[in-house]
A and B are shown apart, each in its own frame.
Chain A
Amino acid sequence: MIKINQISKNYETVKALKNVSFTVDENELFGLIGSDGAGKTTLFRILTTLLLSNEGSATLNNINVKNDYKKVREIIGYMPGKFSLYQDLSVEENLNFFASVFNTTIEENYDLIADIYKQIEPFKTRIAGKLSGGMKQKLALSCALIHKPKILILDEPTTGVDAVSRMEFWQMLKRLQTKGITILVSTPYMDEAEMCDRVALIQNGEILSIDTPKGITNSFPYKLHAISADNKYQLIKDLRNHDNARTVFPFGNSVHFTTANNNLNEEELYNYLMTNNHTNISIIETTPNIEDCFMELMKPSRG
């Protein structure tokens, strides 16, 4: 269980974290979702005892990150965003090294990592620096797990990773969760929110919302329509020029549209688009996803 209580952190004049509070429950898979510079890494470095906050406090399984930092280090596994293994050691040597630091062996906790490590074991004599991105990620996760941590903290494990590998990584996390581990993971990919029990959305050092993915999407305050037509760029421009337009965001194969009076007259809009020479027009009401909600929540601070 992780308790974060009103944490603030400043770097000179930059306020990296502003009064951040949330709790991650025992055995929960919790996602911290935000773009680069939102404060995700700063928060994780504070929780993993690598950085001190200016204000506020945090505990991991009721152990204080400041006063009892050595004890905290024993119960956490941390995978930083930058690949931080020894590039000139082999796969097996890296894993052995991390095991020995925690006075354990690969054999002792093999069960926990077997699922992940098996995929890279054929390359165990290869130098870590020569592994592909996906293999590095699996090795780093194996190293973070080798001492059987109670809490796993993963900083952007899927950034820059292709769509399939991302899904596989989340399936690995789900399986780890069944082994009783509490998992806190950060990501800039909004679609990964769906894989978490609960998420916190963060921007500019502030938490925008904390809830289950469903809870967040259910609280979207506007009717949302997905609009498509053949000429997408022209469609975006024309929708922005519509009198009743509130937000116009391209979204995959359609454009997500909310209206100022929250009451879309479909026939009127259809005719408006027809007048502007659009073809294959489709207007359907749709349910918002996390990305819609994130954009809605971040709008006021956009200036």
Chain B
Amino acid sequence: MNNRKVEIKAVNLTKKYGKFIANDKLNFEVYKGEIFGFLGANGAGKTTAIRILCGLSKPTSGDITVSGFDVYKQTEEIKKNIGYMSQKFSLYEDLTIAENIELYGGIYGLSRKFIKERTNHLLEKLQIMEHKNTLISSLPLGWKQKLAFSVAIFHEPRIVFLDEPTGGVDPITRRQFWDLIYEASSQGITVFVTTHYMDEAEYCDRVSIMVDGRIEALDTPAVLKETYKVSNMNDVFIRIARPDFIINNE
């Protein structure tokens, strides 16, 4: 993978709030088209790092580039080249499906013609053409999430950030959502994803695990399982996040 193009590069990424060190010298690279799992316990500092990578917050120190753009000076360029979706913020509930797509397309400066063509293509793919003029508020959660993801990559960004995208949905919808992630990745979009579902960590090409503001491990799921001599990512996570915790089946 070392000969692949680097899409995100962080060297000694550090963020301090007063005396509190939220991100402590994070070092990692994310490659083009990769599905990169960004894991950690609650409060480990994931959201802080994601906000920096999205150009929403400045680091205290470190050299960080996203799609080649500098996170200190080129935040507008970064925002144009990324997509973002979280469980909390995605679509406008009081707009229809078509209106939401149009709004996002417009914000990213896409032409009306492009928006119209792509909207039809997207609605067909998601099999929701007949619900084009339905308000988001009346859609099932699973549809909303799939649509929110599609909207996040509508402007064909180089990277998409997904912050706990699958929380609360049923297991079939959760898997359909990962189909969309795989598809985006196979088209060359870099996927940077956080999740609390450890089976989803297995779907990632590489995974980093944060503990108390530091990256404690970073590798493929296979290597991590081998290193910690356990059979699944859940146990890897426990070994790293809470070494004193006794795993049940031991």
Contacts and interface: CB of A to CB of B under 8 A. Distances in A.
Nearest to B87: A160
Given A161-B42, A162-B40, A35 B170 contact: yes
Given A132-B42, A134-B42, A167-B238, A160 B173 contact: no
Nearest to A291: B171
Question: In this complex, which of A160, A164, A294 has the most chain B Cβ atoms within 10 angstroms of its Cβ?
Answer: A164
A162 B164 contact: no
B168 A164 contact: no
Q: On chain B, which size bracket covers the interface?
A: 35 or more
Contacts of A249: 171-172, 175
A159 interface: yes
Nearest to B241: A164
Interface stretch (B63-71, B75-83, B194-202): B194-202
B41 interface: yes
Question: Top 7 A-B pairs ranked by shortest CB distance?
Answer: A36-B168, A35-B170, A233-B182, A252-B199, A162-B41, A252-B202, A253-B202
Interface in B172-193: 172-173, 175, 178-179, 182-183, 185-186
A163 interface: yes
Contacts of A236: 179, 182
A133 interface: yes
A163 B196 contact: yes
Contacts of A133: 42-43
A161 B195 CA distance: 10
Nearest to B44: A162
Nearest to A294: B171
Given A36-B141, A133-B43, A190 B202 contact: no
A295 B174 CA distance: 11
Interface in B29-55: 40-43
Interface residues of A, number: 36
A149 interface: no
A48 interface: no
A203 B142 CA distance: 13
Given A249-B175, A252-B233, A160 B164 contact: yes
Interface of A: 34-38, 132-134, 159-168, 188-190, 203, 232-233, 236, 249-253, 291, 294-295, 298-299, 302
B90 interface: no
Interface in B138-159: 140-141
Interface of B: 40-43, 140-141, 164, 167-173, 175, 178-179, 182-183, 185-186, 196-199, 202-203, 221-222, 232-234, 237-238, 241-242, 245, 248
Given A35-B141, A37-B141, A165 B42 contact: yes
Given A36-B141, A233-B186, A250-B203, A134 B43 contact: yes
B221 to A, nearest CB: 7
Contacts of A252: 198-199, 202, 232-233
A123 to B, nearest CB: 13
Contacts of A167: 238, 245, 248
B169 A35 contact: yes
B170 A298 contact: yes
B88 to A, nearest CB: 10
Contacts of A291: 171
Nearest to A254: B202
B232 A253 contact: yes
